[in-house]
Amino acid sequence: MSYSNNQSNPFFTGNFAPVDAERDISDLQILGNIPADLAGTLYRVGPNPHFGPRDDNYHWFSGDGMVHAWTIHAGRVAYRNRWVRTPKWELENRAGRALFGTFGNPATSDPITVGQNTGTANTNIVWHGGRLFALEEGHQPFELDVRTLSPKGHQSFGGVLNTRCTAHPKFDPHTGEMHIFAYSPDGPGTPTMLYGVLDRACNMTRLESFEVPYASMAHDFMVTKSHVLFPIMPLTSSLERAMRGQSLFAWEAGLRTHVGVMARGDSTQNLRWFETEACHVFHVMNAWDDGDKIVAYVMQSDVAPGLPDAEGRTVAPARAEARLCRWTLDLAAGKTQIERAYIDDLVAEFPRIDDRFSGLRNRYGFYACHGERAVRDAGEGVLFGSLASFDFSTNQRRLYTLPAGDVTSEPVFVPRSLGAEEGDGWLLSVVWRANERRSDLLIFDAVDLPGGPLATVQLPVRVPFGFHGNWRPHA
C-alpha cells in the first residue's frame, strides 16, 4: 500500500493516518488493576484506508473500516485488529490500488467499479442476537466472526433488507429489539427514509420506507418506549452536486431542521412533523417520553462539522462545535416548534449512557469534551482531551482531563452487573498518547471519573482516531 502522495491531506497526518498492519497481542502490559468482575470484549471501528485515495477530496469518513478489539479476562487483556474485508476492500486488495473515489463518487472511480459495492463498514460496531456487525451509512450490516474478526459478509436477514442501513441502531432493553433506519435508501440524493425492526434473534419484523422533506444525511435517530423520531437536517445529499466534482454532502443553511414523530406500532404514513431553525445533530445521547412530551438529549451545533456548504466553502469551525442540548417536543400543545435549550457549555461529542436505560429517562450521561476553555478556543475540533460524566438530577458535571496533547475516544459504559443501579459500573476509553505515539485503554470507575483510571492497558502500537465502539460481555 502507499500513502506517500497524500501527506498534505490532514486525514493522513498524526493519529488520523492509517496503520499498515494487522496484529495479535496476547498479553498487554497493565498499570493498576483490572476490576475482577470485568470480563468481555471492547470493539471499536474507524476509517483506515488500505490504499492512498484517487482524488484530492478524500475525507476521513470514507476510509476502509478497521476493527480493534480488546478482550478482558481474569485480569488480563489481549488485543487484535483487522481490516473489515468488505467487497470494496477485497476488490482493491486484488488490484493493489484504490479503485473507488471518495464516498464512491463515480466521477473519480475506476470504470471497473461500476455496479460494485462501495461499503466500508467503518462507523459503528454492535452486538445483537449473538452476532457482531460493523456498520456504516450506506450499506447493509457487515457481519464479523466475534473472536477472529474474519468476514461473514453483508447481511440481508433472510433476503428482507436489500438496501442501506443506519450506523446508529437503537436497542430496546425490554423487548430485545434492534430498531434501524436509513436515509436515501433509494439512492444518493433521494428524499426518502427507511425504518425497520429486528427482534432479539435478528429476524426482521418490520421494514418500510417513507418520504421526507428533503434528502438529508441523518446520522442518528431516536427511539423511546412509545415513539420513534426521525431527524432531517440541512446536511443535504446531492448526486448532481457530486457529479460536478463537489461534495455529495454539504450544508444548506437556508433549510430548516425537521423531526418526524411516529408512535411505535403506527404507520410511517401518520408521521407528525416538528421543526426548528437550521441546526445540526450528529449524535443523540437518549430520548424518552415525559407525559405528553418527548425529551431528548443531543449534541447540537449550528452547522454540520467537517463538510463544506453547498458552494464548496468551508464552514466556520466555531459554528460546527457541538454542545449538550435538550430538545422538547410537545405532542399535546398543537404546536410544531421544537424547544431547544443548551445544558452544558463545553464543546463535546460522542455521548453515551448506561444502555439499560435506552429510551427511558436517564440520570447519567457520558461524553468526550474540551474540558478547558483555552483548549476549546484552540479549535481542536473532535480531538477531545477530557471525559465528562453528567448527573441530570443535580446538573453536576464531573471531568477527567488527559495530559496535554493526548486525545480520548468515545467512552463506553459497562454495568457492574445486570441488576446494578444506573451508572454503577465502568467507563472504557481508548486514548492517543501524543508524545509516545501509541495508544492506551483506560478503565474508570464510572461514579468516580475525576479519580482517574483504575487500570491503564498499554498498547505498543497506536489505534488511529475512529468513531464508535461497544462492549460484548462474556457469558
Q: Annotation-wise, does 283 bind a ligand? A: yes
Q: Side chain identity at 91, as an amino acid letter?
A: L
Q: Annotation-wise, does 154 bind a ligand? A: no
- Indicate the SS3 state at residue 430: strand
C-alpha cell at 246: 463537489
- Number of neighbours of residue 332 by Cβ within 10 angstroms: 8
Q: Side chain identity at 473, as an amino acid letter?
A: P
- Number of neighbours of residue 265 by Cβ within 10 angstroms: 9
Give the helix, strand, coil percentages of the chain, each rounded to 5.
Answer: 10, 40, 50
Q: Annotation-wise, does 174 bind a ligand? A: no
Q: Side chain identity at 152, as an amino acid letter?
A: K
User: CB-side exposure of 184: number of CA atoms within 13 Å?
Assistant: 20
DSSP 187-256: STT--EEEEEEE-TTS-EEEEEEEE-SS-B-----EE-SSEEEEEE-SEEE-HHHHHTTS-SEEE-TTSP
What's the distance, Cα to Cα, between the start and end of the chain in Å?
39
C-alpha cell at 361: 429517562
Q: Annotation-wise, does 468 bind a ligand? A: yes
State the binding site. Answer: 168, 219, 283, 468
State the binding site for Fe cation. Answer: 168, 219, 283, 468
